[in-house]
Amino acid sequence: MDKIVRVERAWGVNDAAIRSDLQSAWTHDLLFGLATSIFTSTVILLLDTLFGLLNRTLQRLQKMQINNAKKFPFESLPQELRDMVYKNLIEDPSYPPPAARQSASSLDRMLTGLWRSSTNSQKATRAFGSSNWIFLANKQIHTEYMDMLCKQGTFNLTVSSENYQPSTPNDKIWSIAPSTIKQIRKASLQLTTTSAMLGCADPRTMASSSWALAARLRSELSALESCTHLTLNATAIGDPLWNPLWIWYHSSQSFKHIGTISSDCPNGPVLDKITFSLDTWSPGENYLQRDEANKGDWTWYCMKGHDVGVDGGPEQTVREFCGMLYRECRMCRPVEEGEGEEEH
Residue-wise pLDDT for 173-206, tens only, equals 898 999 999 999 999 999 998 888 888 878 888 8
Q: Give the pLDDT confidence score for residue 343 in this predicted structure.
A: 41
Strands 186-193 and 154-159: parallel
Q: Give the pLDDT confidence score for residue 2 in this predicted structure.
A: 56
Q: Give the pLDDT confidence score for residue 200 in this predicted structure.
A: 81
- In 3D space, the residue among 166, 163, 184 whose CA is nearest the CA of residue 175 turns out to be 163
Angle at 78 between CA 72 and CA 81, to 5 degrees: 80
Q: Give the pLDDT confidence score for residue 126 in this predicted structure.
A: 41
Q: Give the pLDDT confidence score for residue 335 in this predicted structure.
A: 55
Exposed, middle or buried by CB within 10 Å (0-12, 13-18, 19+), for 195? buried
Residues of the chain with pLDDT under 70: 1-23, 25, 68-69, 99-131, 166-170, 335-344
Separation CA 129–CA 132 (nearest Å)? 9
Q: Give the pLDDT confidence score for residue 264 in this predicted structure.
A: 85
Q: Give the pLDDT confidence score for residue 61 in this predicted structure.
A: 80
Separation CA 308–CA 289 (nearest Å)? 11
Which secondary structure element, helix H or strand E, spans residue 216, and what is its range? helix 212-221
- In 3D space, the residue among 229, 207, 219 whose CA is nearest the CA of residue 156 turns out to be 229
Q: Give the pLDDT confidence score for residue 115 in this predicted structure.
A: 44
Q: Give the pLDDT confidence score for residue 235 in this predicted structure.
A: 92
Angle at 86 between CA 81 and CA 89, to 5 degrees: 135
First-last CA distance in the chain: 133
Q: Give the pLDDT confidence score for residue 135 in this predicted structure.
A: 82
Is this model's pTM higher than 0.85 or not? no
222 contacts: CB under 8 Å, gap ≥ 6: 258, 259, 265, 267, 268
Strands 287-291 and 271-278: antiparallel
Strands 307-310 and 271-278: unpaired
Q: Give the pLDDT confidence score for residue 100 in this predicted structure.
A: 61
